[in-house]
């Protein structure tokens, strides 16, 4: 067995990271890439939980003319669409057992989230996909990732984005933007760098959970991040 850094990881995948080039829907080639990397890590004995966003179908926070709670609940349903799609792809293409666990009761399509059951699934080598965020409006899926990581005692949060790390300014706007190899929770919050919301970062800080921000589109980026390669940016204590 290879010398990997982590025993139990939580991967946070944004809905946008699954989207087609239009920014909407699901790109099956991206599901295939994720499924193949997950298979590799499971075969190495790493326990894997996933929190998935819904921005490729619905971004509640940008809907200013709608009640915010309603918009956020619609976003939670969007995360469930992605969770079921990823579950189906993992089970049918790489033949791994998975469980979708929802923070909102949807017993016909997902298990209710119960911490002890989630941990048991992980210990049995099943991939656990957490859907519907925290189950509460006004909280992002970033916060859901931090919450679930703390509950299941994950060693790290792997924050899969469409950018290869944390920069001191937007690299799409500023060609001279500087990329950090490491950055503290405090500095990330104080500089409002926008990679992860402040509530989520604070929760990770309080529970001593490092966050690795990396580009999902780079080859083998998930597995490389688990084996000590310099991938993306680590957010941790100073």
Q: How confident is the model over 43-86, as pLDDT tens digits?
A: 999 999 999 999 999 976 666 688 999 999 999 999 999 999 99
Is 75 inside a domain boundary?
A: yes
Domain count, the chain: 1
Please determine, for residue 1, whether its predicted confidence score (pLDDT) is greater than 50.
no
Is 65 inside a domain boundary?
A: yes
Q: How confident is the model over 25-46, as pLDDT tens digits?
A: 999 999 999 999 999 999 999 9
Is 36 inside a domain boundary?
A: yes
β-pairing, 8-13 vs 156-161, is parallel
Is 2 inside a domain boundary?
A: no
Please determine, for residue 211, whether its predicted confidence score (pLDDT) is greater than 50.
yes
Task: Give strand ranges (E) for the chain.
Answer: 8-13, 47-52, 98-102, 111-112, 127-131, 156-161, 166-167, 179-180, 182-184, 211-215, 233-236
> What's the domain range around 205?
8-236
User: What is the residue-averaged pLDDT of the chain?
Assistant: 93
pTM exceeds 0.85, yes or no? yes
CB 122 within 8 A of CB 128: yes
Q: How confident is the model over 147-206, as pLDDT tens digits?
A: 999 999 999 999 998 889 999 998 889 999 999 999 999 999 999 998 899 999 999 999
CATH number at residue 177: 3.40.1160.10
């Amino acid at each position: 067995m290879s010398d990997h850094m982590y025993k139990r990881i939580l991967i946070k995948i944004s809905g946008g990271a699954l989207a087609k080039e239009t920014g909407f829907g699901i790109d099956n080639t991206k599901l295939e890439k994720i499924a193949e990397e997950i298979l590799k890590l499971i075969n190495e004995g790493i326990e894997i939980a996933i929190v998935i966003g819904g921005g490729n179908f619905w971004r509640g926070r940008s809907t200013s003319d709608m009640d915010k709670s309603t918009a956020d609940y619609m976003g939670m349903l969007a995360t469930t669409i992605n969770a079921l799609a990823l579950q189906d792809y993992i089970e049918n293409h790489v033949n791994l057992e998975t469980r979708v666990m929802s923070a909102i009761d949807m017993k016909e399509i997902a298990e209710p989230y119960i911490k002890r059951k989630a941990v048991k699934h992980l210990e049995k080598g099943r991939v656990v996909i957490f859907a519907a965020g925290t189950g509460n409006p006004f909280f992002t899926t970033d916060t859901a990732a931090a919450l679930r990581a703390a509950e299941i005692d994950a060693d790290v949060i792997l924050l899969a984005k469409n950018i290869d790390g944390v920069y001191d300014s937007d690299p799409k706007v500023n060609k001279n933007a500087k990329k950090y190899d490491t950055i503290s929770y405090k500095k990330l919050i104080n500089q409002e760098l926008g990679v992860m919301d402040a509530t989520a970062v604070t929760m990770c800080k309080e529970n001593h959970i490092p966050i690795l921000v990396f580009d999902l589109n780079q080859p083998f980026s998930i597995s490389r991040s688990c084996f000590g390669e310099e991938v993306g940016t680590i957010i941790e204590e100073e």
